Amino acid sequence: MTGATVGSINLGRQVPLGLTKQRPPSRFTRLFSLEYLVMGGAIVALFVLVVLPLCFLLIGSIWGENGFTLEYFTEAFSGRLYVQALLNSLILGAWTGLFSLLLGLPLAWAVARTNIPGKPLITLTANLSYLSPPFLTAIAFVNLFGPNAGLINAFSRDVLGLPWLGFNIFSMSGLVLVTVLHTFPYVYLLASSALQSVDASYEEAAQILGASKWRTALLITTPLVMPAILSGVLLAFVNAIALFGSQAIIGLPGRIVTLPTRIYSLFDYPPQYGLASALSLLFVFITIAALYLQRAYLAKRSFVTLGGKGARPQLMDLGWAKWPLFGFCLLVFFIAIVLPYMTLIAVSLSKSWGLAFWKGLTFEHYRFVLFDYDVTQRAIRNSLGLATVAATVAVFLGAIIGWIDIRTHLPGRKFLDYAALVPLGLPGIVMAVALIQFWLSMPIALYGTLAILLLAYVGRYIPLGVRAANTSLRQIDPTLEESARILGASWGHTLKEITLPLMRPGLFAGWLLVFVPVIQELSASILLFSSSSMTLAVAIYNLYETGYTEPVAALAMINMAIIVVAIALARKIAGDGIGRESDKNLTTQGGTA
Amino acid sequence: MAGITISSLSKSYGGRHLRLTAVQDLDLAIQDNQFITLLGPSGCGKTTTLRLIAGYVTPDTGSIHVGDRLVSAPSGVVPPERRGMGMVFQNYAVWPHKTVYENIAFGLKLRKLSSTQVRDKVEGALDLVNLKGLAERFPNELSGGQQQRVALARSLVVEPDILLLDEPLSNLDAKLREKMRGELKQLQRRTGITFIYVTHDQAEALALSDQIAVMHAGRLQQFGSPFDVYTTPANRVVADFMGLVNLVPGRIRSISGDMAQIEADGGLVLVAPRPPEMALGMEIEIAIRPENIRLSATPETFAGVVSERTFLGNLCEYVVVIAGGRALRVQTHPLQQFSIGQNVGITIDPSQCSLFAREPDAVASAA
C-alpha cells in the first residue's frame, strides 16, 4: 500500500495511531471496566433504595413474632378504624378526581382552543397551584374557615349575624376543596398539552367532509384527547390520597381519618409495625392499580402526537361566551392563589389573627421564627442541603439507569426500569414505613439521621430522575455516542464528553423536578425526622400542631420564598427552556407531595 | 494489512418467541485498499454486518479478523474504540454541542497529539473535504452536505485503515448526492483506505465499488465486481435487485455443449449460455434486461404490440405485450419512437440473458 499524502495528513498510514494489536477481551476483564462498575453501582443503589425496603415491607406485613401470620391483613380488612380510613381515602380520591376534572378541563380547553383573554394568568394559576405545598393551602384555609376562629366564619357569625353562612373546613368537603386546589393542575396540564398537539388537519378533514364545529369536537377531538384527560384524573386521584399534610391538618380535627393519617397514628407508642406495613401495602396496591390504568390510558395518547410538527390548533371564537368563561378562570385564580396567599401574608403580619387583624401589623413573627425559634435555621439548612443532594443523586442515578435501559441489551434491564418506576406508586408515608422496616433490621443505625431522609427522598423521586434521563436520552441519537467510540473514546470518556453534555438540559429539568418537591416533603419526613434532622415542612407542621397560628404563616411564607428563589436560580443557571420541559415531565409523571 | 476476513458470521435479535435473523452464515473476504459495497434492500442485514465489523454488535457465531487479528467472536469483541476504524453514519452524527473544529479534533486529542499537530491535521482535513474557514461554526449552522463532510473529515483525520460508511448519502438531495459520490470515490483512490459502504441504492453501488456484496434476507447472495453482478447475477434475487429485469418462465428444449436452447412463454426461443447445473427439460426463468431488447418497426421472428410508453428523457421505456399476454419491459434510445398499439418486432441478445432454475412454487403457479 502506498501512502498518499493529502494536505498535511498522511492518510496512508499502515498502523493505526495509538492502537495496539490485541485479542478480544474476555468477559471476566470486561466485568471490571469502569462501565460495569458504574452500572453495577447504580443497580445496587436501586436495590438498597427501593427493592429491599419494599421486600422488608412485605415481610413485615406477614411476619409476626411467631413467624408467618395473616393477622395484620385480617386486622386491616376487618378493624372498623382501618376500613373507615380506607373508605375515607377512596371517597376523598373520587371526589378530588371529579372536581379536578371539572376545574382542570374547562381551563385547559379555554387555553388551548379558544380566544379567551388572560391565558398567561391561567397558566400561572395552574403552575403555582402545583408548586404550592399543599399543607400551606390547608393552613391558609383553616385560618379562613376554621369553625370558631376562621376569619370568614367569624365575620358571618359575629358581624353579619348569619351563622349559617359559615363553612366548616374540618369536613370532607373542606378536605376535597383544599386537595383539589393542588391536584387540578394534573388534569389541566395533560389535557391542554393533548389539546394543543392534536393536529388541526384531523379536524379540518372532518369539516371538509361536512361535520360542524361542535360535531367535530365531539367526534374527532374528544376521542383523541380522552386518554390524556382520564390519565390526568387518575393522577389527581393518586396524588390526592397520598397527601399527608392536608389530611392531617384538615381531616384529623374533623375526625376524618384516612390511610396516611391512620398509618401515622400507628407509630404512636407502642408502634405497630406489622399493621402499618399491611396498611401500607394496601395503600400501594390502590395507587399502583390507578397508575397502571393511567399508563394504559396514556399509552393510547401516542396517536395524538402523530400529527407531528405541523400542529396548529384551531382557536374557537367564543363571542360573548368568553366572558363567563374568563370569569370562571378568574374565580379559580382567586380561590387557588390569591385567597390562600393573601391569607398567609395577612396572618403572618398580624399581631393576632382575628376580625381586627389589620390593626397593628408587625414583622415580629418573622423575627421570631427566623431568630428566636431555634429550629428554623437548622430546618432550612437541612432542607436545602437534603434537596440539593437528593436531586443530584436522583438525577445521576436516573441518568445511569436510563442509559442502561435505552442503550444496552443487559438482561433484566426492563426490571430495573420498572423498579425505578415503582416509587411513583409509593405515597411518602409508605416509603417511610418501608425504610423504617428495612433499616431497623440492619446493623447500621440510620433511623433519625439525615441519611435516612436522604434515602427516602432519593428513593421516592428517583422515577423523576429516570424519566428525565430517559426523555433526553431518547432524543440523543445513539450514533452520536457510537461515533465517539469508534474514534477511540472509552465508555467513560464518551459519557463525559458526549452523552452528559447533550443530556444537560433534560437532566437540569429533572433536577429541578426533584428539588422542588423535596423542599416541601412532609409525608415521609414526618415519620423519619428527629430533632437534629428537622426539615422545613416538618418544622411548619410541628409549629402548627403547637398552635402558633401567626408564626406558622410567617414560616410558610419563608418556605415559599425559598422555593421561588431556588427555581429562579436554577433557571438562571440552566438557561431558558427548562420550565417547559419540567412541565411536560410533570404532566406525565407527577410526584406526590 | 487491513484486509477483513469474515467467516460464518451470524447474528439474530429478539427474545425467545420472535427471533429475527439479521445476518446468517456470512463469509466474506475483503481485500485491502478496496471500495466494497454492502448492497441490499432494507432489512437485508447490511447495516448489522457493518455494525458487527465496527464492534458495536457481538456476533452469535463466526468471527471477524482484521489482517490476522481476531476482533470479533461470540466470546467477546474488541470494543469499537480499539479497532482503529472510522465510521460515517447515515445521520452524520456530528456532535451538536461541539464546533466543527472540536468535532474533528476529538479523535486526535484522544491520541494525545500535541496541540500544534492537532491544529495542523484539522486544517488539513478541512482542506481535504473543502470546508476551509468553517472551523468555528456549530453543526446547526451548516447544511446537510457540509455536515456530511465534517463527519467524513472527523473519520479520516485519525487515519483509519478501514472506513465504514452507513448510507452516508441517503439524506442528501439528488444533485449533492451525485457530487459527494464522486468525491468519495476520489478520496478512496487517493488515500488507499479500505472503504466499506452500505447502501440500498444499486446505482450508487455500481458507480462506486470495486466489489459489491449483494445481501438479501441476512444472506450473502453474490460478491463480485459491479460488471459481474449486473451482467451475470448469481440468482434471481440479485437479478431482480440490480436494476430492472424481465423474468420469463420457460424450459430447456435441447443442449449442445455450453449452450442451451430454451423455449419460453410467449413463443420466445433463445439459445443462451447454459449454467452447468441446468439439464434437459428443466423448468427455468430467463432474466432479460430491458436494455437488451431491441424493437423494430419491421416484423421479426418475435413480435408484440406496444401497450405503454414512458418518456424518461435519456431513454424511452415501453411495455410490449407478446403472445400469451405476457408483458415485456423494453428500453430504447429516446429518438427511437413507437406509438401505442403499434406492432413491433423484438430482438433479444441471448448472450446477455441469465438463466435461473425455477423455484418449486413458481413452477406450480406457472402450471
Domain boundaries, chain B: 4-239, 245-366
Q: Which residue has the cell 409476626?
A: A64
Given an 8 Å threshold on Cβ–Cβ distance, is B93 in contact with A17? no
**Could you tell me which residue, A422 or A236, shows the higher pLDDT?**
A236
Distance, CA of A241 to CA of A88 (rounded, Å): 9
Measure B16 CA to nearest chain A CA, in Å.
Answer: 13
Mean pLDDT of A110-131: 88
Residue of A nearest to B190 (CA): A4
Q: CB-CB: which of A9, A25, A480 is closest to B124?
A: A9
Determine the residue among A1, A6, A9, A13 to mutate to test chain B binding: the one whose Cβ has the most chain B Cβ atoms within 10 Å.
Answer: A9
* Residue B62 in this model has a pLDDT that exceeds 90: yes
**Residue A439 cell numbers, joined:** 433499616
Q: Residue A473: pLDDT band by 50, 70, 90 thresholds?
A: confident
Residue of A nearest to B152 (CA): A483
Q: CB-CB: which of A8, A489, A502 is closest to B110?
A: A489
Q: CB-CB: which of B80, B86, B120 is closest to A8?
A: B120
Which residues of chain B are within 8 Å of residue A9 when distances are taken between CB atoms? 121, 124-125, 128, 156-157, 159
Run of H or E including A241: helix A222-242
Show Cβ contacts of residue A533 under 8 Å, excluding neighbours closer than 6 positions: A382, A448, A449, A450, A452, A453
Average pLDDT along chain B: 88
Residue of B nearest to A7 (CA): B124
Q: CB-CB: which of B71, B96, B190 is closest to A4?
A: B190
Mean pLDDT of A288-292: 84
Q: Residue A272: pLDDT band by 50, 70, 90 thresholds?
A: confident
Q: CB-CB: which of B95, B107, B112 is closest to A498?
A: B95
DSSP secondary structure of A408-463: ---TTHHHHHHHHHGGGG--HHHHHHHHHHHHHTSSS--TTSHHHHHHHHHHHHHH
With an 8 Å Cβ cutoff, is A9 touching chain B? Answer: yes
Q: Residue A579: pLDDT band by 50, 70, 90 thresholds?
A: very low
With an 8 Å Cβ cutoff, is A444 touching chain B? Answer: no
Measure B287 CA to nearest chain A CA, in Å.
Answer: 40
Distance, CA of B272 to CA of B262 (rounded, Å): 7
- Omega of the bond prior to B80 within 30 degrees of 0, cis? no
* CB contacts < 8 A (A, B): 144
pLDDT digits (tens, 9 = 90+) for A145-199: 988 878 888 888 888 887 777 888 999 999 999 999 999 999 998 888 888 877 7
Q: Which residues between 500 and 519 in chain A have a beta carbon less than 8 angstroms from any beta carbon of chain B?
A: 501-502
Given an 8 Å threshold on Cβ–Cβ distance, is B69 in contact with A482? no
With an 8 Å Cβ cutoff, is B176 touching chain A? Answer: no
| Cα–Cα–Cα angle for B333, B334, B339, rounded to 5 degrees | 105
Mean pLDDT of B58-81: 90
With an 8 Å Cβ cutoff, is B79 touching chain A? Answer: yes
CATH class of B245-366: mainly beta
**Most trustworthy range by pLDDT among A95-104, A130-139, B274-283:** A95-104
Q: Which residues between 236 and 275 in chain B have a beta carbon less than 8 angstroms from any beta carbon of chain A?
A: none
Residue of A nearest to B94 (CA): A480
SS3 annotation, B185-241: HHHHHHHCCEEEEEECCHHHHHHHCCEEEEEECCEEEEEECHHHHHHCCCCHHHHHH
CATH of B4-239, one of 3.40.50.2000, 3.40.50.300, 3.40.1550.10, 3.60.15.10: 3.40.50.300
Q: Which residue has the cell 422496616?
A: A437
Mark A441-453 as b/e (b = at least 16 C-beta within 10 Å).
Answer: eeeeebbebbebb
Measure A412 CA to nearest chain B CA, in Å.
Answer: 12
pTM beyond cutoff 0.90: no
Which residues of chain B are within 8 Å of residue A7 when distances are taken between CB atoms? 123-125, 127-128
- Give the closest residue to B11 by CA, choosing from B44, B50, B39, B52: B52
